[in-house]
Chain A
Amino acid sequence: MKLSKRIFAGLATASLAVTVTACGGSDSSGNFDDTVTVGILHSLSGTMAISESTLVDTEKMAIEEINAAGGITVDGKSYKIEYIVEDGASDWPTFAEKSKKLIDQDGVPVVFGGWTSASRKAMLPVYESKDAFLYYPIQYEAQECSNNIFYTGATPNQQSEPATDFMYKRSPAAGGDFFLVGSDYVFPRTSNTITKAQVKQLGGKVVGEDYLPLGNTEVAPIISKIKVALPDGGIIINTLNGDQNVAFFKQIQDAGITPSNGYYVMNYSIAEEEISTIGPEFLEGHYGAWNYMMSIDTPASKKFAKSFKKRWGSDRVVADPQESAYNMVYLWKQAVEDAGTFDDNAVREALVGQTFDAPQGPVEVMPNHHLSQTVRIGEINSEGGFTILEETGVVEPQAWNQKHPSSKGYACDWTDPKKGEKYRL
């Protein structure tokens, strides 16, 4: 843990240096008593590079901002954050290997990293065995609660559950039947298990589900199944990943599965970034559920989007995963300052209960190492953004989902040594 924190600090320092240079002028080494190096570990090559590189950009920006505001103050000393960026190369064992390198060789106190659940599962044993600390920023299927990971993305009860509720009760297809489509890996399957349980509770009906093997873009059989299962329209829950969404939306539109014919798709993996790739003309009228949407009309949200565009180019967009990545850097900084040390165990204790005025609104670190956050349902508009329809209050995270049959009745609490990873409520 200690080591990991140091890594993080180092990364952050490096990042600061970059920022300062980029801003042009101010002396990067001045005004700081010391530096701390942190680790950033995302895929910069391979399939996931497109998505994960946006997180690297955001984390660099957050570190630069912190440095510009005077860095981290620990014990009265100001530290400049530097960073080491490692490439996970969209290859899960590489994530584990690079984690070891960052912890053992570079001695960073913290690593910000990961996107896919597969990469997280590969890294988890490394952080647990070395008692280091990973900050993981993506909305995921939960059913996991590690003392050595801090999860800043949404758990299913902070994304899919409110979204299913909205679709069944208040969408134009309210009361309709459900069809579940996803890519064939752990997140869609777990998420759909939860959705099925929830639809049953609500009194609705899931009339079909299908999974597309990763890399396959032939969706014709799925379209036939949707048409047989939902002849007069209905609700489609989509957990397809990446490119497969492009094929899916292009082809369902041609086949007449559109909002004007009564078919409404709720998406869990399509944010602003993906909308601009797929094209808003294919997505208009469908829905998305996230904690952060670029169209949130608050000064914090606007400032976040504006700084990102200023730093990385006016054509760039910010989306929910980036916001999570941004929050975790700040939360780490606050926790370190409160703990008065980079030592992992102390920072972990100080982390729980931290609050931050995030671009999405206030967030708070809960004892289960997840964040309580706001959930928003948006309709995709022709400009490629979301028109926000609904906002829940702050929702507390469930690391162990209360609708999934295998985890019902369990919770996680790292502040109480008797409870820990999984205890019966």
Chain B
Amino acid sequence: MQLILESLFNGVAIGSVLLVAALGLAIVFGLMGVINLAHGELMMLGAYSTYITQLIFKQVSFLKPFYDSYVIVAIGIAFLVSGTVGILLERTVIRRLYGSPLETLLATWGVSLILQQFVRSVPLAYGSGLVISLFFGLFAPLFISDELLQGAKGKLIRASTWGVSALLGVATGGVLSSLVSKLSRASARNVDVTAPSWMRGGIDFVGITFPKTRLLIILITLISVLVVIFFLDKTAWGMRIRAVTQNRPMSDCLGISTETVDIITFGIGSGLAGVAGVAVSLLGSVGPNVGGNYIVGCFMVVVLGGVGNLLGTILASFSIGIMTDLIGAGRLLTIWPEMPSPIYSTIDFFATTSMARVMIFALIVIFLQFRPTGMFPQKGRMVES
């Protein structure tokens, strides 16, 4: 019993890291069909946002009493940062490449390299300043009435919002670099997010230790999934997104602004990558390559679950998580130690983390031979198919 519970918890813990990382991709790749290889780097930006938030809470005197809650603030900030960069990416690169997956793949891979080098070579304070400029520059026009944005005067107003945003960004960069000296120099060195003391250690329950960070990541994943499901199923924009996914020209004819839908979908998908970045930063170190370690796993989860199906993504992550634990931790050996020695040594051979990974990838490949569209293929009236 204890063993089953422990194994289940471990599987869910590993699975929820995969799920939170793949959730954004399930939307961007699953619903929009965009192969975004920069997804991992959007996660990395989320992880760096956590690091920056942590430092600000540590250094700025009026925020110090709230240090213990910085992780929660970081989730919101990471969502906005990755979302903003994601929208910029959509507006500048991906929008021009809809319908040509190979070019999208190459272009987003290029973007991922740019982003990696960006965090290496630009001081984080000015990096955050740039994101803030982008944020206000992209979103400020939404709050100005359409009339003002018409004609020559409108152009001037648009230009001036960008100007103000740029100033704001530079000012933020300056303030941050003077407040937090660690952010004022560029460094390729990996940085570290330290969980606040209430999140360290574990909870002992029926003889098993449940690490608190793992519990928090499961909670973050659960909330993200619920919010995404609620958004897609219950809100007007969610309905529009589903409509555009199913039949883009028809939705366009019926008056849905497909361009806005693309922006929102991509923004949310990217923002979720940021949230995943927070989760990942709690487990290991934060560096330019942190996202790259997850990207293959993310695509695997989405493909295994069935492209375009959220439930499939959820089940796929948890099955991979549980399989990783079963094989990698050698659970069968613990359950049945007296098994005949040839079987024992075979299982023992596969009971390492490296071999577990190989086994799981092999199983997925075999599974996809029989069901190429994944566990839950998208059924129904897709125009493209």
Interface residues of A (CB under 8 A from B): 47, 49-50, 184, 209-213, 215-222, 224-225, 228, 242-244, 246-247, 250-251, 253-256, 277-279, 281
Contacts and interface: CB of A to CB of B under 8 A. Distances in A.
A233 to B, nearest CB: 14
Interface string B357-373: 10000000000000000
B192 A277 contact: yes
B329 A243 contact: no
Interface in B139-194: 188-190, 192, 194
B213 A247 contact: no
A243 B209 contact: no
Nearest to B195: A250
Nearest to B330: A225
Contacts of A216: 293, 353, 357
B202 A254 contact: yes
B285 interface: yes
| Closest 10 pairs (CB-CB, A-B) | A221-B328, A247-B284, A254-B211, A246-B285, A224-B329, A217-B284, A221-B329, A256-B209, A243-B285, A184-B354
Contact of A255 (B189, B209, B285, B289): B209
B352 A247 contact: no
Nearest to A248: B284
Nearest to A211: B354
Nearest to A218: B14
Contact of A246 (B13, B284, B354, B357): B284
Given A224-B10, A247-B283, A279-B192, 14 more contacts: A50-B189, A211-B352, A212-B353, A222-B353, A224-B7, A228-B329, A242-B190, A246-B190, A250-B282, A253-B201, A254-B212, A254-B214, A255-B211, A277-B192
30 contacts: A210-B353, A211-B353, A213-B354, A218-B324, A219-B353, A220-B14, A220-B214, A220-B325, A221-B356, A222-B328, A222-B329, A222-B353, A224-B10, A225-B328, A225-B330, A228-B329, A228-B334, A243-B287, A246-B190, A246-B192, A247-B284, A247-B285, A251-B213, A251-B283, A253-B200, A254-B201, A254-B213, A278-B192, A279-B192, A281-B194
A304 B14 CA distance: 45
B6 interface: yes
A217 B352 CA distance: 14
A351 B197 CA distance: 54
A213 B194 CA distance: 24
B17 interface: yes
Interface of B: 6-7, 10, 13-14, 17, 188-190, 192, 194-195, 200-202, 209, 211-214, 282-285, 287, 289, 292-293, 324-325, 328-331, 334, 351-354, 356-357
Contacts of A217: 283-284, 293
Contacts of A220: 10, 13-14, 214, 324-325, 329
Contacts of A221: 10, 14, 324-325, 328-329, 353, 356
Contacts of B195: 250
A279 B286 CA distance: 13
B188 A49 contact: yes
A256 B194 CA distance: 17
Contacts of B324: 218, 220-221
Given A210-B353, A211-B354, A255-B202, A225 B329 contact: yes
Among B17, B202, B293: residue with most chain A CB under 10 A: B293
Nearest to A47: B289
Contacts of B209: 255-256
A281 B289 CA distance: 24
Contacts of A251: 211, 213, 283
B190 A50 contact: yes
Contacts of B357: 213, 216
A250 B328 CA distance: 20
A189 B6 CA distance: 29
A228 B356 CA distance: 18
Contacts of B194: 279, 281
A128 to B, nearest CB: 32
Among A217, A220, A251, A255: residue with most chain B CB under 10 A: A220
A293 B357 CA distance: 37
Nearest to A261: B209
Contact of A250 (B283, B329, B353): B283
Among A224, A253, A256: residue with most chain B CB under 10 A: A224
Nearest to B3: A228
Nearest to B18: A218
Contacts of B14: 218, 220-221
B363 to A, nearest CB: 16
Contacts of A212: 353-354
B335 to A, nearest CB: 11
Among B17, B195, B214, B328: residue with most chain A CB under 10 A: B328
Contacts of B287: 243
Contacts of B289: 47, 215
A217 B14 CA distance: 11
Among B189, B282, B324, B356: residue with most chain A CB under 10 A: B189
B188 to A, nearest CB: 6
Contacts of B328: 221-222, 225
A391 to B, nearest CB: 31
